[in-house]
Amino acid sequence: METTLLHRTTASSSDDSRAAEASPSDAPPCFHLLAKPSGSTCNIDCKYCFFLSKEALYPNEKHRMSQVTLETYIRQLLESHRTPEITVAWQGGEPTLMKVEFFRHAVEFVERFRKPGQVVKHTFQTNGILLDDEWCEFFRQHNFLVGLSVDGPRERGGLTHSDSLLRFLGGTSGAVMLPI
């Protein structure tokens, strides 16, 4: 079975044979991974966040994704898919804490490792607090789908962020909505 599969893909094109060699024959054709490059680290302290207790597991910066790990992650993600459309998805903690430069490298690695015919989409989930013109231009330039996590208004029973953030910003829904 293995020889037949490799023979068929080799006969069709060298691009397909690279994909067949990179993926086990019983691997699913596609899948969705959600990378958390900043681990559980966040720039706010929401009392309801399930990730808060996880930060204690990683008491230093070593839980942040390194450049080497980023390159390996992107390469393996693109090699493993046997379908032409792939989503590179980022979440946190708060991924903007990794800085725009980290994600510029991610896009560069996508372009380096993307197989001919692969269409790569980028998604990014953020609380929006650190978004500025540089982030917005980066997202626009690379066609990122950006999701903003915001609390509902207090008067409608929305969950609220920590008291210190609320005093500073008046609630994230207000803080994030102003720049938008």
Concatenate the DSSP letters of all residues of 28-54 into one string.
-S----EE-TTTT--SS--TT-TTGGG
Number of domains in the chain: 2
Sorting pLDDT into bands at 50, 70 and 90, what band is 178?
A: very low
Residue 159 has φ and ψ, to the nearest 5°, of -65, 150
Q: What was the pLDDT predicted at 85?
A: 93
Cα separation, 48 vs 53, whole angstroms: 11
Instruction: Look up the pTM and report it.
Output: 0.71
Q: How far is CA 6 from CA 11, 20, 21, 33, in A?
A: 8, 7, 8, 26
Cβ atoms of 108 and 73 closer than 8 Å: no
Instruction: Identify whether residues 119 and 86 lie together within a single domain.
Output: yes
Instruction: Identify whether residues 25 and 5 lie together within a single domain.
Output: yes
| pLDDT above 90 (res 175) | no
Question: Which of the residue ranges 63-67, 87-91, 147-151, 175-179 would you say has the lowest mean pLDDT?
Answer: 175-179
| pLDDT above 90 (res 58) | no
| pLDDT above 80 (res 70) | yes
Instruction: Identify whether residues 22 and 50 lie together within a single domain.
Output: no
Range of the domain at 16: 1-29
Instruction: Identify whether residues 20 and 103 lie together within a single domain.
Output: no
Instruction: Identify whether residues 66 and 22 lie together within a single domain.
Output: no
Which position has the higher pLDDT, 128 or 58?
Answer: 128
Q: Which of 84, 61, 71, 81 is nearest to 35 (CA)?
A: 71
Q: What was the pLDDT predicted at 151?
A: 67
Which CATH number belongs to the domain containing residue 82 in this structure?
3.20.20.70
Average of pLDDT values for 28-35? Answer: 78
In the chain, the amino acid numbered 31 is: F
